[in-house]
Structure 1
Amino acid sequence: MSIQFNYRYGIAAILLFLVEVFIATILKDIFFVRAYLGDVLVVILLYAFVRSFICMDEVRLILGIFLFSCMIETAQYFNIAERMGFERGSIMYIIIGNSFSWIDIVCYAAGCMILYGVAKLKS
């Protein structure tokens, strides 16, 4: 593992973030896009963000992102955003989320499988 800025992943992370904002603000009424595609893309966004600063084993990073995503989803089950005092609609409330869903975990797994497939194609 080494720390080094990778502008390609940095640009990808920025673009994916903008897509996520677009989904959350403009496409919010299109259920499939908001509920599923956004969750698939968020793990890819996390991957690109981490890879923009850290060069490490791809499989470990993908597994770590999946576990992190599952931890956040589990925190949603326990209403962690409300317990931390974040108000509904606040940016932190939106980032953390407010409802647990097994389907979200499936979406995170799908995003990680896409990342893994791309990683294997590159090698």
Structure 2
Amino acid sequence: MSLRFDLASFVRAAFLFVVLVLLATVGRNLGWIRSFLGDVLAVAWVFYVIRTFVKARASWTAAIAFATGAAVELVQFLLMSMDVQIPNRSLRIVFGATPDWWDILAYAIGAALVLGVDFRNAARGGARQGKP
């Protein structure tokens, strides 16, 4: 694992950030698409943010991105259990307010998708360079 700046990961993270902002604002009436797809994309966004600055195995990066999402769900659960309300509306949108097992599934799907994309890109890059 080492520090670096990867422009391709930065561009992907920036694109996903724009999509997530649009889902949170314009797409707020899209129901499950906003919530479930948003959680899938959120894990992908975390993955690419990490990959922008850290060179590490994709499996480790995906695991950290998944764990980040799971930690958010845990905090939501604890806040709900202690009857604590987040007063800031923006933070409620970003972090959510209701823990849900479907969110954990969405995070797992997001982690699997970025691993699949990374695997496909590595296979294509290796084939172009004459590597197996």
TM-score normalised per structure 1: 0.88
Amino-acid identity (%):
27
When Rg is computed on C-alpha atoms for both structures, the one with the higher figure is 2
Displacement after TM superposition at 1:65 (Å): 1.3
Contact 1:79–1:99 (Cα < 8 Å) also in 2: no
Contact 1:9–1:51 (Cα < 8 Å) also in 2: yes
Contact 1:66–1:108 (Cα < 8 Å) also in 2: yes
1:69 aligned partner: 69
Measure the CA separation in 1 of the matches of 2:5 and 2:13. Answer: 12
Gapped regions of structure 1 (runs ≥ 5):
none
2:9 aligned partner: 9
Measure the CA separation in 1 of the matches of 2:12 and 2:115. Answer: 17
Summarize deviations over 1:12-38 as a string: whole Å, max 9, x none.
111110100000111110112211110
Gapped regions of structure 2 (runs ≥ 5):
124-132
- Map residues 86-101 of structure 1 onto 2, 5 A cutoff: 86-89=86-89, 91-101=90-100
1:113 aligned partner: 112
Structure 1 residues 38 and 61 mapped into 2: Cα distance closer, same or farther (>3 Å)?
A: same
Displacement after TM superposition at 1:88 (Å): 4.3
2:78 aligned partner: 78
Q: CA RMSD in A?
A: 1.7
